[in-house]
Homo-oligomer: A and B are copies of this chain.
Amino acid sequence: MEFTFLGTSAGTPTRARNVTALALQHGGPRHWYLVDCGEGTQHQLLRTRLSVVQLQAIFITHVHGDHTFGLPGLLTSASMAGRTTPLPLIGPPQLKPFIETILANTDSSLSFELLYINSEADDFQWQDDALRVTSFPLSHRVPCHAYRFEELRLERKLLTERLKADGVKPGPEWGRLQKGHDVILADGTLVRATDYTEIPRSPRRVVVAGDNDNPDLLTDACQDAHLLVHEATYTQEVADRVGPWPQHSSARQVAAFARKAGLPHLILTHFSSRYQAAGTRGPVIDEITTEARESYTGNLHLARDFQRFRLDRDLTLTEVDE
C-alpha cells in the first residue's frame, strides 16, 4: 500500500507545494485511488507513474476549491487518454451539479461513465475487490469527511501439516484453497478453505482526513488504524492569531489526538502557504514539526509534494526513494 502526496498546500498553491491531492496505490498493478483533487492534480500526475486510465475511484473530502478545482481537467484528460471504464466519484452531493454544469458550458463530454456516490449519506460505504471504505464526519466550514481505507482479500497461508495429516495431497487443490475457495476432491470429500488456511496478519487500515478543527471526531475512525493523514495548517500560535473562523487544526491538536489514539504512524499535510522553506522570510515548516513532536512520539512525517510512503504488510511505514 503506497501513498504519493500530489499536493500539500492549504488554500492556494505555492512554488513548492500544490493544493491538496493524495494518491493511494493498492490492489493491483498500477491500481490507485485519488483522495481530493486540487487544481493542477493532472499536472502533478505527469511527474509520477500513475495514469488516469488505472484510477479506480476518486474520493473528495469536501467541496472547497483547493480540493476540487482539478476535477474538470483530470476527468476530461482521462477522456482524451481514451478511458472507457466507469469511474466512481465519491463525495458531497454538490459535485454532480458542479461537474455537469462545467461540462455542459464548455462543450465537454466524457468517454466513460462517472458514478456519483454521495459520501454524506447515512449508510455510506464503498468497496471494491481490494478496499473497503467508510466515511466519518469532521468539523469544518462545510460538510467534510475523513475516509477510512481497510484492505480486503488478505493473502492466506496454507496449513500444510494439517492438509497432509488429513490426506489432502499437494496439487492444484492447494492453490485453490490458498485463494480461499473450497474444493471437492476426486473421492467426493468437501475441503473447506477456512479449515486449511489462516490469515496471519491484520488488514492495513488508513484514515485520510479532510479539513477539520476537531481531531477527536476521528476517535472511532482511528480505532485499530495504523496511519492517519491529517491537516496541520499551522502551529497553535498562528491558529490563535488567525482565530477559529477557518476551522483548521494546529499541529498541537493533531499530535495530541494521535498520541491519545495510539496511532503508530502520523503524516501531516495541508500547510498554510505562509510556511516556506528554511532560509526564506516568514515562519518555517520546522515549527510545525517541533510542535507536533512535543506530544506525539510515534512515527511522524510532514508530507512534501511527490513524497511517497509505503505501509508494508508488517505495518511499518517507510519513505520510498525513487
Contact = CB atoms under 8 A, between A and B. Distances in A.
A12 interface: yes
Nearest to A11: B80
Interface string A138-155: 000110000000000000
A253 interface: no
Interface in A29-61: 39-40, 42-43, 46-47
A42 B39 contact: yes
When all copies of this chain in the complex are counted, the total is 2
Contact of A15 (B46, B70, B94): B46
A189 interface: no
A129 interface: no
Interface centre among A63, A98, A106, A141 (most CB of B within 10 A): A106
Interface string A176-189: 00000000000000
**Residue among A40, A69, A98 with the most chain B CB within 10 A?**
A69
Give the secondary structure class of A's interface: loop
Interface string A97-108: 110011001111
A102 B100 CA distance: 10
A286 to B, nearest CB: 23
Interface in A87-114: 94-95, 97-98, 101-102, 105-108
Interface stretch (A71-79, A195-203, A219-227): A71-79
25 contacts: A12-B77, A13-B46, A14-B46, A18-B43, A19-B73, A39-B69, A39-B70, A39-B72, A63-B105, A63-B106, A64-B106, A65-B73, A65-B106, A68-B106, A69-B69, A69-B72, A69-B102, A94-B105, A95-B105, A97-B105, A98-B101, A98-B102, A101-B101, A107-B141, A107-B142
